[in-house]
Copies of this chain bind each other. A is one copy, B any other.
């Protein structure tokens, strides 16, 4: 080939339209007037931003539940206005932070968010495997419970800021152990009763916690307290939820950052597969920080539902063959957060908080079933299902943005006219995080943890299923900086446990759980000595789908 003959050089190709190459500018065009921050203040603000701000605004600050905080937006507001917002909060739902950040921390944060958001690193499967720790080898697991306690009525209690969970004997009202876990555990899931072949023989024996730092910890309730933590692995830098597959072989942990979910061997805790959640949302826009919120196993199947917060999609993932992974991506609404199954385990009801909706997907057909307009920022937590005299089977949610419990029909076969429509609402004293009931109970419990007034925040309210009205409001503490949060029934439904969360002294064991008689609504006892107790998970109820 004679090079001389190729006289028509590449330049000619430019005659053809090439929108691609012409469409992106030189990188790194800096914004004018960059604010200054010492390296030390930058690093401490970065840490603080991650702890306190990233959950709502995102690590890349593109906004989600909270507003966009990229420099283009924040520099328009300026230092002074930003400091004021951080200090006092806004009417739009932003908390005040003057109670948990110093003046200097607020100043630095106002500057920090005017700088470009640093992009956190990826996490590959090799790094995850490096961070596996086995404390008890599976071959040394006991063949029967070693402590003589009624482990099926244990409660696993999140001790938020201490990075621990407490194991509590529900019969004896005694703390059995404080176990080291990831930081600020968001969710705990146990092995569940399942009709699947190969499913765990002892549902509720093994529990898996997901820390906000992405650390998954495996707990064996048959062990002696000193050995209950049997293994751990880190699968993300920022994370929220985990679920156990129906066949008991895998757990699935979801990352906020990196945006992905990880399929982990439930026995050994070895990460097996990482699936990115970066994607295109229901509006057709690419989302880099597409976070994985709630993850729930579909009972009696080998599917898990993985909620894609920013995408507004529910992904139903079948775990039968991880090397040929089947995923159905259901378009729903933004931003998906937390949800719960109906009593038949066919329908999953999940909050789309930015849309003020509850979204329902049919896990039998892997299709979007319905959308229900509810109040501002729904947040059901573990949720509540019960029977209403007029609407039949119903589900309910609390809201972060208003003091309302919204109740909708959830029985499309028996009550098609009421299904996925609001049946009634109950006005509560304030916005809350969690609602809960039990099939044997006449009542539904709702907290008001998001109300700024301490008296309301420190109270819990009880709604009658029969009259649909609030029948009791109980303030459980009056200590400043303490809040009341989250209720959970014991195994036989005779007790309700409510947390007193010592927010202001959260690294000291000043938290309590108040135990109520579920029938008389009278206080029975208080269990003391918790580090910032928040969510609680009764072994039997969670393992047997008592919703």
Does A248 make an interface contact (CB < 8 A)? no
Looking at the complex, which of A169-177, A325-333, A536-544 is the stretch in contact with chain B? A325-333
A286-B124, A327-B329 given as contacts; is B5 within 8 A of A21 (CB)?
A: no
**Chain B's nearest CB lies how many Å from the CB of A87?**
10
Contact B51 A10 (CB under 8 A): yes
Return chain B residues, CB-CB under 8 Å to A368. 323-324
In chain A, positions 496-536 with a C-beta closer than 8 Å to chain B are: 503-507
Distance of A525 Cα from B72 Cα, bound (Å)? 65
Return chain B residues, CB-CB under 8 Å to A148. none
Chain multiplicity (copies): 2
Total number of A residues with any Cβ neighbor in B under 8 Å: 103
Looking at the complex, which of A112-120, A387-395, A408-416 is the stretch in contact with chain B? A112-120
Contact B120 A23 (CB under 8 A): yes
Distance of A506 Cα from B8 Cα, bound (Å)? 9
Contact A366 B326 (CB under 8 A): yes
* Residue-wise interface mask of A (160-178) relative to B, using a CB-CB cutoff of 8 A (1 in contact, 0 not): 0111000000000000000
Q: Which of B22, B162, B184 contacts A47 (CB 8 A)?
A: B22
* Residue-wise interface mask of A (44-66) relative to B, using a CB-CB cutoff of 8 A (1 in contact, 0 not): 10111111100000000000000
Contact B276 A13 (CB under 8 A): no
Return chain B residues, CB-CB under 8 Å to A184. 16
Residue of B nearest to A239 (CB): B20
Return chain B residues, CB-CB under 8 Å to A503. 6
Contact A286 B257 (CB under 8 A): no
**Chain B's nearest CB lies how many Å from the CB of A298?**
15
Does A429 make an interface contact (CB < 8 A)? no
**Chain B's nearest CB lies how many Å from the CB of A38?**
12
Residue of B nearest to A275 (CB): B280
Looking at the complex, which of A96-104, A217-225, A340-348, A430-438 is the stretch in contact with chain B? A96-104
Contact A51 B326 (CB under 8 A): no
Can you list 17 A-B contacts (CB < 8 A)? A1-B454, A1-B481, A5-B481, A6-B481, A10-B52, A10-B105, A11-B105, A14-B47, A17-B163, A18-B50, A20-B50, A23-B120, A276-B279, A276-B286, A323-B330, A323-B331, A324-B329
Q: What 9 A-B pairs come out closest when comparing CB atoms?
A: A125-B284, A20-B237, A5-B480, A6-B99, A21-B47, A21-B50, A274-B280, A276-B279, A1-B454
